[in-house]
Structure 1
Amino acid sequence: MELIERLSAIEERLAALETSAPPHRDTSGDLWVLDNLVDSVGFAGDVRTGASHAQYQWQRDTTTLLGEDWAPHITRLAALAHPIRGHILRRLLEGDATVGDLVDEEIATSTGTAYHHLDALHAGGWVSKAAGGRWHVRAARVVPLLTIISATEDH
């Protein structure tokens, strides 16, 4: 049954792509424009990491994004804004890890440091802890995380 559902989803995506206008460059030549996605921002990904496989797609209209309170979003972003947290997230994308693993692998200098950074990432919704004290990046956050990293590249 799963295969039939997956095939149906692929066929729906293909039909949507075939009926939408093809992308074209805007007048400045710097951006690609999809006419059927006017006034929206979106991202999607199909990612395989050492830890998991994540498929995710998100799209929001700009009116909503510009009209809502950004404080929760900034809080989630702030949780990422530390080099040790970046190292932790990269490590967790390879596979679940305990605090002891992070210290043993010299990603964190002590268990206290590891917990401090994991707590911040957890509060931001980026990671969760499973049985046995093993931490992982939440599946729903893998593609958004990599999108953020990609968005910070020099364009």
Structure 2
Amino acid sequence: MDLAERLTEVERRVAALELARPATDDEDEQWAATRLREEDGEGAVLLAGAGYLPTGEKYEWQAQFTVADALAEDLAEAAECLAVLGDPIRLRLLREIVNGRRTAAELAGVDGLGSSAEVYHHLRALAAVGWLHTAGLGRFEVPAQRLVPLLVALAATRR
């Protein structure tokens, strides 16, 4: 391969890499929104996250919804699901579970979460709307499809 062909190949590869990752200049700061707008002219919402929990567990999850689909959801069900998160004890329980305390006994030992009966009451409420599920042997987990939405909900509260 001569020099001109090699240069052409390098330029092709650089162009492909630039398209594969978001640009870092100010013009493309909103790369995800730009992609959604181009993909779906009516609008869409993208939830995505990837990384490692404090326990070292890897998580990756994404979902995309059209605006119409997101607004068409059963609002009573959505309100119930969000209301369960409105309790600071329940948010602390979720945080403790994400941080590795997975059994009711471990959770009942955390100061400020209440008695074992109160902890179980909150765990049942979280499980009833899908924020938790049992992983066997009395262990609780935030399901993979709920972890990123939980993090998004918490991030949405920042002012």
> TM-score range, shorter-chain basis?
0.7 to 0.9
Match among 39, 50, 53 for residue 54 of structure 2: 50
CA pair 117-21 structure 1, distance change in 2 beyond 3 A: closer
Superposed structure 1 runs of 4+ greater than 6 Å apart: 19-23
Aligned-partner Cα distance in 2 for 1:93–1:84: 14
Distance 2:140 2:90 in 1: 13
2: CA distance, partners of 1:104 / 1:89: 15
Aligned-residue offset at 1:88: 0.5
Q: Is the 8 A contact 1:127 1:135 kept in 2?
A: yes
- Scaled by the length of structure 2, the TM-score of the pair is 0.73
Q: How does 1:120-131 map to 2 (within 5 A)?
A: 120-131=125-136
1:34-113 aligned at under 5 Å gives the runs 34=34, 35-37=37-39, 38=41, 39-51=43-55, 52-113=57-118
**Percent pairwise identity:** 32
Residues in 1 aligned to 2:156 and 2:123: alpha-carbon distance in whole angstroms: 23
RMSD: 2.6
> More strand by proportion, 1 or 2?
1
Q: Which has the higher contact order (CA 8 A, sep 6+)?
A: 1
Q: What is the CA distance between 1:153 and its match in structure 2? A: 1.2
Aligned residues: 134
CA separation in 1, counterparts of 2:60 and 2:22?
24
Q: Deviations over 1:104-151 (max 9, x none)?
A: 122522111001100111011011112221111112211111011111
Q: Which has the larger radius of gyration?
A: 2
Shift of 1:92: 0.4
Deviation at 1:47, TM superposition (A): 2.6
Aligned equivalents of 1:96, 1:47: Cα separation in 2 = 19
2: CA distance, partners of 1:72 / 1:138: 18
Match of 1:9 in 2: none
Q: Distance in 2 between matches of 1:91 and 1:107?
A: 12
